[in-house]
Amino acid sequence: MLLKATALLAAANAVLAQRPSNTSICDYYTEALLKENNATNQYTLLTLLVNTAVIGNYTQPNVGVSVPGILNPDGMYNDTKVNLVPYFNGGLASSNTGGMSGMAVNFLDGGGAAPLMKNMPAADNTSKQYKLLTHLYEFFGSLLGCSEVGMAGFAAYAGDGSMYEVHKFMVLDPFEVGYFITQVGLSAASFGVAQSDIDAVAMSLEKLFDNRCAPKTTAIEAQGPQYQSICTDEKCPLSPNSTCAAQPSMEQPLVANATLAMGEGRNASSSSSSSSMSMPSGTSIPSGSSMPSGTTTGTASPMPTSEGTQLVPGMAGLAVIVAAVLFAQ
């Protein structure tokens, strides 16, 4: 196994030297890190990226880039406490199930963090957790330009085309959306993705999802232009050419289960408290995080192909991903 890992590392390092501008981020890092650029490996890359963003670092060895994780109840973004857990565990009535108001849904019903630590979306393939995680792999796979999306081994995203509709009853603010995007960036950094590529992804995500009342935009080519604002709280910056009439603002979600809501929600009676229900044991949880580097305005269209050459953290990141893949086999 060690020999196999060493050979992979050597091959990957040779490729990692520079990402050509006509190669997508997904294709480039799949080949660099997993050697062969095929649908299965692209799906593995997206699984590692999303699972790490969701639950924090779980691969060994840790390269020194700490990922607190989206399901960390003690998240910090720009000196503000963020706890996204109650949106996922059924604590808040914040999911769009097709009605006029949000409903409480437990999206951690497929084993929670444990299967994610084994590079799986869930312990089964029928849970809400399975659907959510696989949809995230597929959605981010398209955003990152995976060329094999839609081929055997990497199904195309077939979830809701409007990120506004999916998230509208969550009424997410800039800190919550910023925290989420930061976790994706930190996850990528933990696998050795170049800072310039991380910045390009973050800018693209911000441009697509961070402004309130944004006009219809295409995120997934096959789904065409849709309302994509994920940031819908009044604190979110108003989009240029805003179309608020078509995207009515909602009230903050109600508490559905006070224990699971952990002090979040419009009618919460207490302040936030910590819980580590979703975190893998042994994961280090730093008290704060920030984007690996500054991210402000962005360019259009899914993944830009900026000339990423810098290696952060290079070989160490490769060791992580190779180890994760080898252990998973």
Sites of contact with ligand HEM (CB under 6 A):
84, 87-88, 95-96, 107, 132, 135-136, 139, 159-160, 163, 166-167, 170, 172, 176-177, 180-181, 205, 209, 230
Min dist. Cβ of residue 159 to ligand HEM (A): 3
**Which CB, 163 or 318, lies closer to ligand HEM?**
163
DSSP 8-state code for residue 93: E
Min dist. Cβ of residue 11 to ligand HEM (A): 31
Min dist. Cβ of residue 87 to ligand HEM (A): 3
Rounded to 10 degrees, the C-alpha dihedral 307/310/312/318 comes to: 80
**Which CB, 115 or 141, lies closer to ligand HEM?**
141
**Which CB, 28 or 88, lies closer to ligand HEM?**
88
Long-range contacts of 160-163, Cβ-Cβ distance < 8 Å, separation of 24 or more: 161/219, 161/220, 161/223, 161/224, 161/226, 162/226, 162/227, 162/228, 163/208, 163/209, 163/219, 163/226, 163/227, 163/228, 163/229, 163/230
Min dist. Cβ of residue 198 to ligand HEM (A): 14
Min dist. Cβ of residue 133 to ligand HEM (A): 9
Min dist. Cβ of residue 25 to ligand HEM (A): 15
How far is residue 303's CA from residue 124's CA, in Å, rounded to a whole number? Answer: 31
Residues 6+ apart with CB under 8 A from 171: 94, 232, 233, 249, 250, 251, 252, 253
Residue nearest to ligand HEM (CB): 159
**Which CB, 177 or 198, lies closer to ligand HEM?**
177
Whole-number Cα distances in Å, 205 to 22, 51, 210, 298, 301 = 20, 18, 7, 8, 10
Which residues partner with 81 through β-bridges? Answer: 76
Min dist. Cβ of residue 122 to ligand HEM (A): 13
Min dist. Cβ of residue 316 to ligand HEM (A): 27
3-state secondary structure 224-248: CEECCCCECCCCCCECCCCCHHHCC
Question: 163: helix, coil or strand?
Answer: helix
How far is residue 35's CA from residue 22's CA, in Å, rounded to a whole number? Answer: 18
**Which CB, 28 or 175, lies closer to ligand HEM?**
175
**Which CB, 31 or 197, lies closer to ligand HEM?**
197
**Which CB, 96 or 119, lies closer to ligand HEM?**
96
**Which CB, 95 or 211, lies closer to ligand HEM?**
95
Whole-number Cα distances in Å, 32 to 192, 196, 226, 270, 298 = 10, 16, 34, 48, 26
